Amino acid sequence: MSVEVRSTAEDRRPQPAHGSEPQRIRWHRPLMALAAASALVSVASVVGLVFDQRELVGAPIWAKALKFGVSILIYAVTWAWLIGQLTRFRRTAWWAGTVISVTLLAELAIITLQVVRGHRSHYNNANPLDEALWSIMGTAIMVLWLATLVAAVLLWFTPGADRARTLAIRLGSTISLVGLGLGFLMTMPTEAQLASGGDIIGAHTVGAGDGGPGLPVLGWSTEHGDLRIPHFVGMHALQLIPLALLLIELASRRVVAFRSVRTRIGLVWTVAAVWAAVVALVTWQALRGQSIVAPDALTVWAAVLIVVGGLAGIGLSLASGRHRAIEPAEQQR
């Protein structure tokens, strides 16, 4: 006898009321202005890479401005959309987003100014102007983290119509906040800097000075540890975890198991746990002075454990969702 598998009420997405219109997206305007400025800096940086052959710390001088421009562009658009979706604490969220936009705009402007001057923007205390600019950047970064904390907390207190989507946004923002905070590790002076009392205080390379061989485009060190990696990987969880859920939703058109909201919630928890573990792993690897492209046995085994844990989480999520969907149908027999 065949058993018909029916979706439970939990598995059906809420539909808008008859005659109602979808909620209009309210983009946060200061953050969208920041996105526009970031796009202009990115375009200018590409032009600079073509026509300006100067190098700084072993890399094309406009490479940093390009990377920051693109990263801030993505970050700004994401938060502009998220803050626009909030149905509670809108005024507080608006101010948090505005602070985020101002601090990142200040950072982007200083980076661009220093590129034009041919000076390092980060960790630079070579002269009074460089020191003042780096001090402004350091203060802006701390204020940025606090404003992002406020925005992330507000996301946790604003429920959404789809539980899996809400969870993906909440977990993505939390891991992103951790990744943003990992940037502070790069502001700490190294032992060599303390011993020499030089003009550069802080570094992203562990085990050597900044510069040297790096990965194409990203520039991450291929010989030593690089703290930019956990900072980057963690910060962009804000986009990648919701993106993973979007791919799961698209796959649900063909994969019946993904249509269960219980399964999607389990998969979101799994993706977030794996991503958090990867952030921890690359942080540990960088702090040991180990290049991302030359992992030792401990790092490899830790990566294997993360993969095994992720596969187990996927299996449990699928099993849980299938059990929940079949249970009501069995009661019909």
Per-block average pLDDT, block size 10, for the chain (333 residues)? 42 43 72 96 95 88 93 94 86 94 96 92 86 91 94 87 89 94 85 72 82 84 91 93 92 85 92 97 95 94 96 89 52 40
Q: What is the pTM of this model?
A: 0.83
Residue 320: predicted pLDDT: 77
Is residue 78 a contact partner of residue 238, using CB atoms and an 8 Å limit?
yes
Of 134, 117, 116, 139, nearest to 45 by C-alpha is 116
The conformational region for residue 18 under phi > 0 = left, psi -120 to 50 = alpha, else beta, is beta
Residue 19: predicted pLDDT: 41
DSSP 214: B
Residue 323: predicted pLDDT: 60
Rounded to the nearest 5°, which phi and psi values hold at 159?
Answer: -70, 150
Only one residue has tokens 């940025």, namely 144
Distance, in Å, from the CA atom of 192 to the CA atom of 185, rounded to the nearest integer, reads 16
Task: Provide the Cα torsion 142, 148, 149, 150; round to 10°.
Answer: 120
Distance, in Å, from the CA atom of 170 to the CA atom of 59, rounded to the nearest integer, reads 36
Q: What token pair was written down for 79?
A: 């938060």
Distance, in Å, from the CA atom of 293 to the CA atom of 313, rounded to the nearest integer, reads 27
Residue 324: predicted pLDDT: 58
202-220 burial, b for 16+ CB within 10 Å, e for fewer? bbbbbbeebeeebeeeebb
Residue 25: predicted pLDDT: 66
Distance, in Å, from the CA atom of 256 to the CA atom of 261, rounded to the nearest integer, reads 11
